Amino acid sequence: MSKPSNLSRRRVLHVGLAAAAAPLAGCAGLGSGPSIGRVVVVGGGYGGATAARYLRLWGGNVDVTLVERNANFVSCPISNLVLGGHKQMSDITVSYGGLEAAGVKRIQGEVVAIDAHAKEMRLADGRKLPYDRAVISPGIDFMLDQVGGLAAPAAQERILHSWKAGPQTLALRRQLEAMPDGGVYALTIPKVPYRCPPGPYERACMVASYFKQFKPRSKVLVLDANPEIQSKKVLFEKAFADHYKGIVEYRPNNELKSVDAATNTAKLEFDDVRADVLNVVPPQRAADIARSAGLLNMNNRWVGVNWLTMESTAVPGIHVLGDATFSAPLMPKSGHMANQHAKVAAAAIIQLLKGEPVSATPVVINTCYSFVTARDVIHVASVHQYDAAEKTFKTVPGSGGVSAAANQVEGRNALSWAENIWADMLAT
């Protein structure tokens, strides 16, 4: 985590003040001495931005290029507060100017192919980028074919996921604002594994907090394909009962089979639910570029990695981070964990480029905060240590745990966590 002094630094990086950071980019570039190698990073989210920055920070004068589709970083953590009306999009949007100032060459674009033999990436505009080592942290894409009717253009337009922060976050907020009091917001949750296990339950709380204040006759219906709440179960159950009785209804074992976009209806195994706002979080897999690069060697869905280096077990020379990986036991798909993957990878890549041995004993940590009201927060934490015999990360017995109860101190900690991790990824 970054030092407190970085917090004020990060404020300079907010989009509104991006211009203030921009001149620094012109002065940046590689430091003195010869480069030890070229690394191309795909995806400027939690994993990719951290990897790009730490490859620069940790030495060896690595030549780092980051390719990201979007102009700015937009955070999924805290995005549920935007849905609840407690934060704005500008609060979760950070400029990439700090990375450029740190010497990362940034390309706004899309990588459409990776040729692992030629060690070259191809961009949508036809440009080619050679690399010595590649890092991809592309996040997730959705398995739309698993939910009947969802892939149709009309469904895609009306039935939002908002499970990637950005335009859909704002669009869902607008649907909630337009919903009449007395309406039903239905949220469907896919079977695990999916991005951010506590995220849907936090979302239910945030939408309910909005309804409680502004549309008190409205309902939040949570249709969960899983048999029970997947993270911080007792604490979320308490939040639903203490704060949102009569507003939130939780239904386990309710797997979405198909949707009817014309009537905004979720079709379940035994039931049809018509909603005023239908928010479908579809089943997920590693993002498209991981699939087209031939990396999906775990259930044809996720990427297997060597946990000492984060290098793909399917295609040499490509290091894969974050949600796209096949998770180690009890390892969550979280922004915090993607940030940790990135540090393991950055250290290992520098050592590999220098011909040195990589660390044999990595340890990574995770904390996920969830807002249950605009101010009360709960957390779950864990420590994961590499186990040489089983070649995977395993949780350290007795480490981590969950909050005793929702509280406002953790509310402040959660906002500090976000400020700090954004600075850790994106400051100079």
Ligand X SMILES: Cc1cc2nc3c(=O)[nH]c(=O)nc-3n(C[C@H](O)[C@H](O)[C@H](O)COP(=O)(O)OP(=O)(O)OC[C@H]3O[C@@H](n4cnc5c(N)ncnc54)[C@H](O)[C@@H]3O)c2cc1C
190 binds ligand X (CB under 6 A): no
Compute the least distance from the CB of residue 263 to ligand X, in Å.
26
Question: Which residue number, 110 or 276, has a Cβ lying nearer to ligand X?
Answer: 110
Instruction: Write b or e for each residue in 213-240: b if 16 or more Cβ atoms lie within 10 A of its Cβ, otherwise e.
Output: eebeebbbbbbbbbeebbbbeebbeebb
Q: How far is CA 399 from CA 31, 272, 298, 362, 369, in A?
A: 40, 43, 28, 16, 17
Residues 271-300, one symbol each (x = binds ligand X by CB under 6 A, - = not), give ----------------x-x-----------
139 binds ligand X (CB under 6 A): yes
Number of residues that bind ligand X (CB under 6 A): 38
Compute the least distance from the CB of residue 82 to ligand X, in Å.
10
Residues 351-380, one symbol each (x = binds ligand X by CB under 6 A, - = not), give -----------------xx-----------
Which residues, numbered 48-107, are part of the site for ligand X (CB under 6 A)? 48, 67-70, 76-77, 79-80
The identity of residue 257, as a single letter, is K
Residues 6+ apart with CB under 8 A from 259: 147, 148, 149, 150, 155, 159, 265, 266, 267, 278, 280
37 binds ligand X (CB under 6 A): no
Compute the least distance from the CB of residue 51 to ligand X, in Å.
9
18 binds ligand X (CB under 6 A): no
Compute the least distance from the CB of residue 262 to ligand X, in Å.
27
Question: Which residue number, 287 or 352, has a Cβ lying nearer to ligand X?
Answer: 287
Interacting span for ligand X (CB under 6 A) from 191-199, 307-315, 376-384, 400-408: 191-199
**Rounded Cα gap, residues 329 and 341, in angstroms:** 15
Q: What are phi and psi of 174, to 5 degrees?
A: -65, -40
Question: Which residue number, 191 or 354, has a Cβ lying nearer to ligand X?
Answer: 191
Question: Which residue number, 62 or 82, has a Cβ lying nearer to ligand X?
Answer: 82
Cβ contact 290:262 at 8 Å: no
Question: CA triplet 289, 291, 297: central angle to 5 degrees?
Answer: 140
Residues 321-350, one symbol each (x = binds ligand X by CB under 6 A, - = not), give xxxx--------xxxx-x------------
From 97, 138, 193, 362, residue interacting with ligand X (rule: CB under 6 A) = 138
Residues 243-272, one symbol each (x = binds ligand X by CB under 6 A, - = not), give ------------------------------
Interacting span for ligand X (CB under 6 A) from 94-102, 135-143, 301-309, 382-390: 135-143
From 190, 193, 199, 362, residue interacting with ligand X (rule: CB under 6 A) = 199
Cβ contact 401:366 at 8 Å: no
Q: Which residues bind ligand X (CB under 6 A)?
A: 42-48, 67-70, 76-77, 79-80, 110-111, 137-139, 163, 195-196, 199, 203, 287, 289, 321-324, 333-336, 338, 368-369
